Amino acid sequence: MKILCTTVLIFYILFVKGQNDNMAYVAGGKFVPLYGSVNKKPISIDPFFLDKTPVTHQEFLSFINKYPKWQRNKVKKIFAGENYLEKWPSDTNFPKELQNSPVTQISWFAAKAYCECVGKRLPTVNEWEFAAMASQTEIDARKNEAFTREILSGYETPNTYKKEVGISKANYWGIYDLHNMVWEWTLDFNSIMISGENRDKNNTNLFCGASALGADDLMNYAAFMRYAFRSSIQANFSINSLGFRCAQDLKEKG
C-alpha cells in the first residue's frame, strides 16, 4: 500500500507537476563520489528536482529586474568580485547573442540568492555529481570510457559558455548541459577541501601525489578536474566559464 502511494505520488509529481516547468526529477540512490565519502562507503542521495538547463542570461536579467541590488553597479563588493557580470554592456542589458546561453560571471552569493528568490536552492556537490554521472542511458556511466572521454574533451574545448542551453541531448534524468558547457556553482562547493568529512586522510589537497591517493576512481580524470576547479574558487569569484542551475526538495515542490 505504501509503495503504491509513493509510486502514485511520484507519477503525480512527474507528470502533473513536473511537466509544467523546467525541472527534472532525480530519483536519488546510493553512489560513491570521487571525494567526500568516508572510507569509500556509498552515500545516499534523497530524491530531488534539478533544473533541466543552466540559468540563462534572459532568466537572470528577470531576476535582476526584480531585485536591483544584484545589478553590477549596485551589488555589494563582498558578495561579488570585480568581474561580476563584467561582459554586460549595462546594468540591465546582457550581450544580445548570449540570451539563451548560460549566465556566467556570477558569484556564489548571486546564484544562491537567485535560487532562493524562485523558491529553490543550489544543489549540493553530491547531488550535482549524482545527476551528472548519468549518460543518456545509464544512471552511473562513470565506468563508460566513451562517456568520460567526451566530458574530458568538452573541458578542453574553449568558449563553450557561448553555446545555447537545452540543444544537446538530455541525460537519463532528462537534464541537459551538465557537461560540455560551463562549470556550475554548488551549495557546498568548498566543503570537500576545507571542512570535508575525509579529514581522516589528513591530506586531501589536490596537488601532486595527494590527489591520487584520495581518489576513488583514478580513471575519472574529468571528476578530478571538477573538484580541482571547485577548490580553486571562492564565493565572491565571478568567472567566465562558471554558471549555475537550481535544485528543489520533493516536499517543497509537492
Residue 148: which H helix or E strand, with range? helix 145-156
Nearer CB in complex with other proteins: 18/243 = 243
Smallest separation, CB 208 to other proteins (Å): 5
Shortest reach from residue 40's CB to other proteins, in Å: 18
**Least CB distance from residue 254 to other proteins, whole Å?**
38
**Residue closer to other proteins (CB basis): 22 or 211:** 211
Map residue 45 onto helix, strand or coil: strand
Three-state SS at 49: strand
Query: Minimal distance in Å, beta carbon 108 to other proteins?
Result: 12
**CA nearest 165: which of 149, 147, 179, 150?**
179
Record the cell numbers describing residue 220, joined without a space. Answer: 575519472
Place of cell 554558471: 243
- Matching residue, cell 557546498: 188
Q: Of the two residues 46 and 86, which places its CB atom closer to other proteins in the complex?
A: 86
Closer residue to other proteins, CB minimum distance, 13 or 239? 239
Q: How far is the CB of 21 from other proteins (least distance, A)?
A: 30
Query: Which residue, among 5, 95, 2, 11, has the nearest Cα to 57 in the 3D structure?
Result: 95
Question: Which 8-state DSSP code applies to residue 44?
Answer: E
Q: Which is nearer to other proteins, 62 or 157 (CB)?
A: 157
Burial 17-52 (b: 16+ CB within 10 A, else e): ebeeeebbbbeeeebebbbbbeeeeeeebeebbbbb
Least CB distance from residue 232 to other proteins, whole Å?
Answer: 3
| Nearest-approach distance from CB 213 to other proteins, in angstroms | 11
Question: Which residue number, 16 or 208, has a Cβ lying nearer to other proteins?
Answer: 208
Q: Which is nearer to other proteins, 195 or 207 (CB)?
A: 207
For 89, which DSSP code?
S
Tell me the C-alpha distance between 104 and 183, whole Å: 9
List of residues contacting other proteins (CB under 8 A): 83, 145, 148-149, 152-153, 155-159, 183, 205-208, 211, 219, 221, 224-225, 227-229, 231-234, 237-241
3-class secondary structure, 221: helix
Instruction: Return d(Cα 181, Cα 132) in angstroms, integer.
Output: 13
